[in-house]
Amino acid sequence: MMNNVMTIILAGGRGERLYPLTKDRAKPAVPFGGIYRIIDFTLSNCLNSHVRKINVFTQYKSISLDRHIKLGWNIFNNELGEYINVIPPQQRTSENWYMGTADAIYQNIYSIEAERPEHVMILSGDHIYKMNYEMMFRFHVEKNADVTVGGIEFDVAKAARQFGILEINEDRRIIGFEEKPEHPKTIPGSPDKALSSMGIYIFKTDKLMRAVIEDTKKDSAHDFGKNIIPGMFKKDRVFAYLFVDENKKEVKYWRDIGTLDAYWEANMDLIEVTPVFNMYDKEWPLRTYQEQHPPAKTVFAQEHKGGRVGAALDSIISAGCIISGGKVQRSILSPEVRVNSYSNVFQSILMEGVNIGRHAKIKNAIIDKGVSIPEYAEIGYDLEKDRKHYTVTDSGIVVIPKGATVENDK
């Protein structure tokens, strides 16, 4: 069905609002949900949607992202016309790096011309959701659309000042677009709902080429949402496809985890008793690359003061973790985390190789790869003290970066 479609995943953003998690890695390469990287969710959607021709456009701090794709996603057969290519800025048209999403396409226009697909699908590499792109493509073909934009419904109050809003008619044709309006236009027949752009586009190739070439001649942000789509819907057939969530839940799940608070909240969504976003759905499997680790282990040891119990409650525990007499609650542990005796970890994200010392207390924290927390240290209990050493978000999440030296200054 999608053999005549080239897919481009934009994975070159700086991710400045996720700093310090993006200090040494691209935003799509940030770990998520214990064993995954953010880009795995878009790539898994592609695999489950039978999308087999994929170009990933990278840019900033892309080494770990390149490595992850090479190790975990090199599964396509070139002899069958399948591929996944990682393409950094080619600087064929200028000496600049990508100046916007549309400029990223323009700078790689030769890659599109060489393939000559009938359609180009453009995705973002930093969103969490499940979507069958084949269904959107069928809609695109049925409407004979020049462009189809993926859209998700939000309550009007939630959408206000938060998202780019698509205005559509009864036929779902786009007749207007506003960037983060205070009073969003509503969906016909649904006066309490507004339609937000998901940053997902399917173009007829000739229309895409024309649009990005024309955009280079203008003083603009060179952005699809801000410039390309608003410049097309008055003269071209531009339609909105309403997101169908493969989670098959009443609430549709799509997260743009652009901030540290949003990142933490999306991870915490995963540990609910019945999470809206289901990672355990065999009908829509999620793929990633994992190194070989032994199984996770908990340790109970009787001692003279009543013993120590290694326990994990309402948490995700990855392979290679050892919870040796500590307690982990409502948290996500990446591979090879060690939680030592009498320590307590609550509502936190511990990335690969983190070590929690004896009697340490961790609450509402994101601790990046390889950090060692010393004995008796406390993180998340005195935010004023934490701010002197680490990033603390507006909602009080303490973020300790990779390579940080943590001292017990009690």
Helix axes 39-48 and 63-72, enclosed angle (nearest 10): 30
Res 303: pLDDT: 56
| Full-model pTM | 0.93
**Res. 147 pLDDT band, cuts 50 70 90:** very high
Residue written as token pair 């586009």: 201
**Res. 304 pLDDT band, cuts 50 70 90:** very low
Q: At the topology level of CATH, where does 5-269 sit?
A: Spore Coat Polysaccharide Biosynthesis Protein SpsA; Chain A (3.90.550)
Of 62 and 204, the one with more pLDDT: 204
User: In the chain, which residues fall in CATH 2.160.10.10?
Assistant: 297-400
Residues present in the chain in total:
410
pLDDT per residue as tens digits for the range 177-228: 988 888 899 999 888 999 999 999 999 999 999 999 998 888 888 888 888 8
Q: Which of 355, 351, 350, 352 is nearest to 340 (CA)?
A: 355
Residue written as token pair 């996500």: 332
Q: How many Cα atoms are found within 13 Å in the side-chain-facing hemisphere of 328?
A: 31
pLDDT per residue as tens digits for the range 81-134: 899 999 888 766 666 777 888 888 988 888 898 889 999 999 999 999 999 999
Average pLDDT of the residues in 290-294: 93
**Is the domain 297-400 a CATH 3.40.50.300 member?**
no
Q: What does R_g of the chain's alpha carbons equal in angstroms? A: 23
| Angstrom distance (rounded) from CA 120 to CA 377 | 52
Res 189: pLDDT: 87
C-beta of residue 319 within 8 angstroms of C-beta of residue 296:
yes
Q: Which of 31, 32, 35, 27 is nearest to 58 (CA)?
A: 27
Res 67: pLDDT: 94
Res 221: pLDDT: 84
| Angstrom distance (rounded) from CA 215 to CA 222 | 7
Average pLDDT of the residues in 38-55: 96
pLDDT per residue as tens digits for the range 359-408: 999 999 999 999 999 999 999 999 999 999 999 999 999 999 998 998 87
The pair phi, psi for residue 265, each rounded to 5°, is -65, -40
| Angstrom distance (rounded) from CA 169 to CA 380 | 49
Residue 143 CB-density burial (10 A; 0-12 exposed, 13-18 middle, 19+ buried): middle
The pLDDT > 90 percentage for the chain reads 69
